[in-house]
Structure 1
Amino acid sequence: MELLILVWRQYRWSFISVMALSLASAALGIGLIAFINQRLIETVDTTVMVLPEFLGLLLLLMVVTLGSQLALTTLGHHFVYRLRSEFIKRILDTHVERIEQLGSASLLAGLTSDIRNITIAFVRLPELVQGIILTVGSAAYLAMLSTKMLLVTAIWMAITIWGGFVLVARVYQHMATLRETEDNLYNDYQTVLEGRKELTLNRERAEQIFQQCYTPDAKEYRHHIIRADTFHLSAVNWSNIMMQGAIGLVFWMANSLGWADTNVAATYSLTLLFLRTPLLSAVGALPTLLTAQVAFNKLNKFALAPYNPDFPQPKAFPHWKTLELRNVVFHYQDNAFSVGPINLTIHRGELLFLIGGNGSGKSTLAMLLTGLYQPQSGTILLDGQPIAAGQPEDYRKLFSAVFTDVWLFDRLLGPQGKPANPALVDKWLEHLKMTHKLELNDGRILNLNLSKGQKKRIALLLALAEERDIILLDEWAADQDPHFRREFYQVLLPLMQGMGKTIFAISHDDHYFIHADRLLEMRNGQLTELTGEERDAASRDAVARTA
């Protein structure tokens, strides 16, 4: 299996050490059976030391077995920790466009369900390893007692294992389908949680979501989990019954066919009884390993960025003068909408407003401008020099942004990830009217339970604390009250320009267009600059231009 191969590659010597411990445990287990056979069955040892020797062997077996299981479990948890950390890092390194295509629900399912299933598999892996090693070792010991009986018993056990694998294969099929159903359920959960206000207001919609979306997915999940459990329990019971049948078969071969005496038959039976629990545990553990393989395959299907343990430090462009988008074209994967070709030159220190109707391409242009989307064609240039393919991080270092779907982080960071400038933070807390509403402790925001407008103000503070050259504001003022909206356009934007910021603001507030150095418009994916009478008309009534 790919999962075990990956463990072998990453933890080869640790894996070898664990296997050595498991072999020692199996050898001690078989040695215990041999001790019972030779000292307590074939020739009864009446010396006083036989009991301490037996108890000592039992204690040693317990210590080595526990040690091997703990070592394998610990190795598994180290692997899962590494897998989870690599998955998170790959998400951080993957293009935003790809993350949006995958959706948060499927990624959360990967981080929770898939990682959990892999963890469970490694917790149960010692049972599988112990079962296999003990079975092989016991077979070697039984061969020394009676080859003919071993041959028949081996055939019987082969039938047992084959039947178990047939049943377990059905478990795997249902688990694979089950994993796909889990993605749908996570989408349903997300709908219920994030749409809770709307669903509380509209009970008909709530019923529709529950009956037509959640219930079919939940029923499909129930169907496949019941089938998987049915085949799993069938495999366990099949193995259990066949093991008991093997004991009866041994005594029949010994007594009816005369292939061995009663002592050998007793030793065979004792060995099979000894194997019964490890073998049943191995059969029980196999579905968890198969489920883990399904989860591992699912994680690999996300097609995230390759794992890179480092966080390369982007290089700054401290003295740039112009930023140019030249013939930039972008289209979404389904080709339903495209933007471009875009031609735009931004001069350092400018205040630009971008207007346009819903679906005109404003947000897409913002993503292209900030380097979060990669254009299919065209070039982005800084001071006339194209941004190389290996420089996206360097280019993105120019930007701070406050998007419409803002996410608030609880720590203020300054340039290069260092603590934010306290003087700058205090100054802008006052400008944003948040001095007495925000609790800060050593750069950490303690209260994020704020209104949407207040969250936007804190997001602006976070962006300014980074002290980057260009700031993108996506309809920032839309959630502010009329008084503070005027404050934003007439006071805050000039203050930012006074700090040397280049500001690219998406806005619908036509009353304040007069404050922009340049007014841009997106319409059907095409960008134009409004000047003269067109700009005056847009400043009088921007709504008319979106009709």
Structure 2
Amino acid sequence: MELLILVWRQYRWPFISVMALSLASAALGIGLIAFINQRLIETVDTTVMVLPEFLGLLLLLMVVTLGSQLALTTLGHHFIYRLRSEFIKRILDTHVERIEQLGSASLLAGLTSDIRNITIAFVRLPELVQGIILTVGSAAYLAMLSTKMLLVTAIWMAVTIWGGFVLVARVYQHMATLRETEDKLYNDYQTVLEGRKELTLNRERAEQIFQQCYIPDAKEYRHHIIRADTFHLSAVNWSNIMMLGAIGLVFWMANSLGWADTNVAATYSLTLLFLRTPLLSAVGALPTLLTAQVAFNKLNKFALAPYKPDFPQPKAFPDWKTLELRNVVFHYQDNAFSVGPINLTIHRGELLFLIGGNGSGKSTLAMLLTGLYQPQSGTILLDGQPIAAGQPEDYRKLFSAVFTDVWLFDRLLGPQGKPANPALVEKWLEHLKMTHKLELNDGRILNLKLSKGQKKRIALLLALAEERDIILLDEWAADQDPHFRREFYQVLLPLMQEMGKTIFAISHDDHYFIHADRLLEMRNGQLTELTGDERDAASRDAVARTA
């Protein structure tokens, strides 16, 4: 299996050591059976020392078996830690566009369900390994006792194992379908949780979501999990009953066919009883390994960025003068809407407003400008020099942003990830009227339960604390009250310009367009700059222009 091959590649020598311990455990188990056969069955040893020797072997078997299982489990958890960490790092390194295509529901399912299933498999892996090794070792020991009986028993066991694998294969089929259904359920959960206010207001929609979306997906999940459990339990019971049948077969061969005496038959039966628990555990553990392989395949299908252990250290451009988008074109893969060609030159220190109707391409332009989307064609230039396509981090280092779907982090960071400038933070807390509303402790925000408008103010504080040259504000003032909205346009934006900031603000507040150095408009994916009478008309009625 690909999953085990990956473990072998990453942890070869620890894996070999664990296998050596497992072999030692199997050898001790078989040795204990041989001890019972030779010292307690064939020739009854009446000496007092036989009991301490027997107990010593038991203790040694327990220590080695426990050690091998713990070593394998520990190895598995190290692998899971590495797999989870690499998956998170790959998400961080993947283009935003790809993450948006995948959706948060499927990624969360990967981080929770898939990683959990792989973890469970590694917890059960010692049982599978022990079962296989003990079966092979016991077969070698039984061959020494009676070759003919071993051949018949081997055929019986082969039928047992074949039947178990046929049933387990059906488990795998249902587990594969089950994983796809889990993605649908995660999407249903997300709909219920994130749309809770709307669904509380509209009970008809809530009923429709529950009856037509959740219930069919939940029933599909129930169907496949029941079928998977049915085949799994069938495999376990099949193996259990066939093992008991093998014991009866052994005594029949010994007593009816005369292939062995009663002592050999007893040893055979004792060995099969010894094998029963590990073999059943191995059969029970196999579906978890198959489920883990399904989960591992699902993680690989995300097609995230390749894993790189280090975070790049972006190169700064402290003395740049102009930023240019030249013939930049971008189109989404899932529809025909495209943006561009965009031609725009931004001069350092400018205050630019961007207006446009819904779906006109404003947010897409913002993503292109900040380097979060990669253009299909065209060039982004800084002081006339093209930005290297393979090093977008250098370019992105110019930007801080507050998007409409803001995510509020709980820690203030300054340049280069260092603590934020306390004087700057204190100054802007006062400007944002949040001095007495925000609890800070060593740069950490303690109270994030704020109104939407207050969250936007804190997001602006976080962006300013980074002390980057360009700040993007996507309809920042939309969630502010009229008084603070006026404060934002007439006081805060000029203060940012005094700090040397270049500001690119998406706005619909036509009363304040006069404060912008330049006014840009997006319409049907095309960018134009409004000047003269056009700008005056937009300032009078932006709503009419974006209709």
TM-score range, shorter chain: over 0.9
1:404-431 deviation line (CA, Å, top 9, x unaligned): 0000000000000000000000000000
Structure 1 residue 546: deviation in Å?
1.4
Secondary structure class of the residue paired with 1:272: helix
2:59 corresponding residue in structure 1: 59
Cα distance in 1 for partners of 2:52, 2:391 equals 72
Secondary structure class of the residue paired with 1:341: strand
Cα distance in 1 for partners of 2:279, 2:201 equals 56
Cα distance in 2 for partners of 1:389, 1:541 equals 40
Secondary structure class of the residue paired with 1:346: strand
Structure 1 residue 15: deviation in Å?
0.3
Structure 1 residue 334: deviation in Å?
1.6
1:413-461 deviation line (CA, Å, top 9, x unaligned): 0000000000000000000000000000000000000000000000000
Secondary structure class of the residue paired with 1:352: strand
1:456-486 deviation line (CA, Å, top 9, x unaligned): 0000000000000000000000000000000
Structure 1 residue 391: deviation in Å?
1.9
Cα distance in 1 for partners of 2:42, 2:292 equals 46
1:174 corresponding residue in structure 2: 174
Cα distance in 1 for partners of 2:238, 2:395 equals 63
Secondary structure class of the residue paired with 2:471: strand
Cα distance in 2 for partners of 1:521, 1:154 equals 80
Structure 1 residue 225: deviation in Å?
0.1
1:92-114 deviation line (CA, Å, top 9, x unaligned): 00000000000000000000000
Cα distance in 2 for partners of 1:496, 1:209 equals 46
Cα distance in 1 for partners of 2:484, 2:187 equals 37
**In the alignment, does 2:442 pair up with 1:445?**
no
Q: How does 1:68-467 map to 2 (within 5 A)?
A: 68-467=68-467
TM-score (norm 1): 1.00
Cα distance in 2 for partners of 1:485, 1:543 equals 18
Structure 1 residue 389: deviation in Å?
1.4
1:279-313 deviation line (CA, Å, top 9, x unaligned): 00000000000000000000000000000010111
1:241-299 deviation line (CA, Å, top 9, x unaligned): 10000001101111111111110000000000000000000000000000000000000
Cα distance in 2 for partners of 1:382, 1:59 equals 73
Secondary structure class of the residue paired with 1:424: helix
Which deviates further from its counterpart, 330-339 or 263-272? 330-339
TM-score (norm 2): 1.00
Structure 1 residue 382: deviation in Å?
0.2
Cα distance in 1 for partners of 2:401, 2:225 equals 45
Cα distance in 2 for partners of 1:409, 1:313 equals 21
Cα distance in 2 for partners of 1:435, 1:83 equals 42
Cα distance in 2 for partners of 1:461, 1:84 equals 32
Which deviates further from its counterpart, 392-401 or 329-338? 329-338
1:118-163 deviation line (CA, Å, top 9, x unaligned): 0000000000000000000000000000001001100100000000
Cα distance in 1 for partners of 2:5, 2:421 equals 49
1:5-34 deviation line (CA, Å, top 9, x unaligned): 000000000000000000000000000000
Structure 1 residue 390: deviation in Å?
1.9
1:165-188 deviation line (CA, Å, top 9, x unaligned): 000000000000000000000000
Cα distance in 1 for partners of 2:159, 2:300 equals 35
1:16-57 deviation line (CA, Å, top 9, x unaligned): 000000000000000000000000000000111000000000
Cα distance in 2 for partners of 1:245, 1:344 equals 81
Secondary structure class of the residue paired with 1:528: strand
1:71-100 deviation line (CA, Å, top 9, x unaligned): 000000000000000000000000000000
Secondary structure class of the residue paired with 1:152: helix
Cα distance in 2 for partners of 1:153, 1:391 equals 65
Secondary structure class of the residue paired with 2:260: coil
Structure 1 residue 328: deviation in Å?
0.2
Cα distance in 2 for partners of 1:90, 1:435 equals 38
Cα distance in 1 for partners of 2:326, 2:22 equals 64
Cα distance in 2 for partners of 1:43, 1:334 equals 79
Regions of 4+ moved over 2 Å: none
Cα distance in 1 for partners of 2:523, 2:488 equals 26
Secondary structure class of the residue paired with 2:303: coil
Secondary structure class of the residue paired with 1:46: coil
Structure 1 residue 514: deviation in Å?
0.2
Which deviates further from its counterpart, 332-341 or 431-440? 332-341
Cα distance in 2 for partners of 1:160, 1:29 equals 22
Cα distance in 2 for partners of 1:389, 1:380 equals 9
1:212-267 deviation line (CA, Å, top 9, x unaligned): 00000000000000000000000000000100000011011111111111100000
1:488-519 deviation line (CA, Å, top 9, x unaligned): 00000000000000000000000000000000
Cα distance in 2 for partners of 1:382, 1:141 equals 76
Cα distance in 1 for partners of 2:348, 2:19 equals 63
Cα distance in 1 for partners of 2:315, 2:2 equals 39
Cα distance in 2 for partners of 1:412, 1:335 equals 38
1:499 corresponding residue in structure 2: 499
Structure 1 residue 336: deviation in Å?
2.3
Cα distance in 1 for partners of 2:272, 2:389 equals 64
Listed as ranges, the gaps of 5+ residues in structure 2 are none
Cα distance in 1 for partners of 2:269, 2:111 equals 46
Cα distance in 2 for partners of 1:254, 1:167 equals 32
When the two chains are superposed, the root-mean-square deviation of aligned CA atoms in Å is: 0.4
Structure 1 residue 335: deviation in Å?
3.4
2:28 corresponding residue in structure 1: 28
Secondary structure class of the residue paired with 1:328: strand
Cα distance in 1 for partners of 2:326, 2:260 equals 89
Cα distance in 2 for partners of 1:390, 1:397 equals 14
Secondary structure class of the residue paired with 2:214: helix
Listed as ranges, the gaps of 5+ residues in structure 1 are none
Cα distance in 2 for partners of 1:208, 1:388 equals 50
Secondary structure class of the residue paired with 2:401: strand
